[in-house]
Structure 1
């Protein structure tokens, strides 16, 4: 997977740091031959592009080589946490087969927890969510504690149950953050889980809309107003965000943005970076 850098804001330990990881995403995760991946690879088997130093041998040419899926992935810092903390810096290559198996088993669990940490951390930056800040802080601390469990405890952890607890708070955060967008009598838009694949939304007013889990694959969002929208889990693969305004949009992750298309005119929240593959407009 590509090296990740901390964005303009957001904690660096919730961004992938390949230099401190043992290439776990290139080993633990499966992928199927498709538009995103050039080959099939089962979970637990190292990608053939993974080098002995745990770096990607085709990192600079991933898109050209047919590994676009790798360029839009971020472990949210779970790779270095599992490598350096959970397993104390012991490489899966030098340990036993059981050690390697357990690392591959634990990594996806910690990755889910770190993604939740990302959302909770962002939620605490939203002034409108102040009524639930105390509860958000409590759950954030609990989530961080879970990431520090032993390998055996992590493997047995019911992550789905914890996600449900966090989701209740994130839903409340979303309601609070979007409540004032259209005024006290305004109606907050809810497009949760909507099928908007290929939708023509050029110039659409989506300000303050909940787009949680919406399918926006290849949607035309050119010039759309997405200010203060909730984008948690929205599928933005190949969505066109040219000249769109995402100022104040929240729960938008770097992988989501990396999967979309945009330009220099796309306005972004401070929590993410402009993808390097977007064509700059002069």
Structure 2
């Protein structure tokens, strides 16, 4: 019991630095990343070019009007704290403005890599704290330590890092933890990993302990669905209706997933995430 409590405290502390802090970032997501004109973005923007709405102080000039202006995709994105890490740690507080083109280029290349590593740290922090992870907890801690080591590599090494290979290695552990945790749910638990559930009618569905890893749930009707203990790693929840759904204890849920979905005050969520503000009025 004591070890589990320590792991829970560690989870809270670990995730405090895995949340975006725009005040300590050089607006990297507004420059490094590309976006295409679509329902999520009002204009096209190539990677490495600053968004026209980015101010000189690296803050968004239309942050309070992003959705009405057609930039809903910006409100969904979360860097897991990679922005401030790259800005303040990797590049020691030196911004991309006023410096060399090479530094700016390298910063924009490194940012997506660190973002992936921070996302893995988010998953690993949760996995270590799960009661059923006992058999692989030591392996999870080693993976966490290695991921933290990689995060602190110098820019040149981060730029050339094979982050896909590291993700694959960590993913094997996360999958094992998921299986161990979901084994507590009785009955036949259908594996819907990677399933195409675009627009699926799942109102009131019993999805307890079901693996929905990487599933496409875009615009799916999950109203009043029971998702307790379901594995939602990488599931695409864009425009999915989570009204009155129960996600208590759902595994590996991230804030960007919820930001992209719809829900209401009755939607029950894991403690690690917050209820999106726009849920009150619709996305």
Q: Same fold (TM over 0.5)?
A: yes
TM-score by length of 1: 0.94
Tell me whether 1:268 sits opposite 2:269 in the alignment: yes
Aligned to 2:7: none
- Classify the secondary structure of the residue corresponding to 1:278: helix
Displaced runs of 4 or more, over 6 A: none
Q: Residues of 1 paired with 2:95 and 2:174: CA distance?
A: 36
* Equivalent residues in 2 for 1:171-186, closer than 5 Å: 171-182=175-186, 186=187
Q: Is the 8 A contact 1:83 1:89 kept in 2?
A: yes
Tell me whether 1:65 sits opposite 2:69 in the alignment: yes
Aligned to 1:202: 203
* Equivalent residues in 2 for 1:101-250, closer than 5 Å: 101-182=105-186, 186-250=187-251
What whole-Å deviation, never above 9, does each CA across 1:170-198 have from its counterpart, x for those lacking one?
1101101100111xxx3332100101000
* Equivalent residues in 2 for 1:65-104, closer than 5 Å: 65-104=69-108
Q: Residues of 1 paired with 2:281 and 2:259: CA distance?
A: 14
What whole-Å deviation, never above 9, does each CA across 1:1-31 have from its counterpart, x for those lacking one?
xxxxxxx886211001001100000000000
User: Which has the larger helix fraction?
Assistant: 2
What whole-Å deviation, never above 9, does each CA across 1:68-105 have from its counterpart, x for those lacking one?
00000000010011000000000110211111111001
Which of 29, 43, 46 aligns to 1:42? It is: 46
Q: Residues of 2 paired with 1:47 and 1:234: CA distance?
A: 28
Question: RMSD of the TM alignment (CA)?
Answer: 1.5
Q: Residues of 1 paired with 2:160 and 2:280: CA distance?
A: 45
TM-score by length of 2: 0.94
Q: Residues of 1 paired with 2:182 and 2:98: CA distance?
A: 50
Q: Residues of 2 paired with 1:211 and 1:230: CA distance?
A: 5
Runs of 5+ in structure 2 lacking a partner?
1-11
Aligned to 1:24: 28
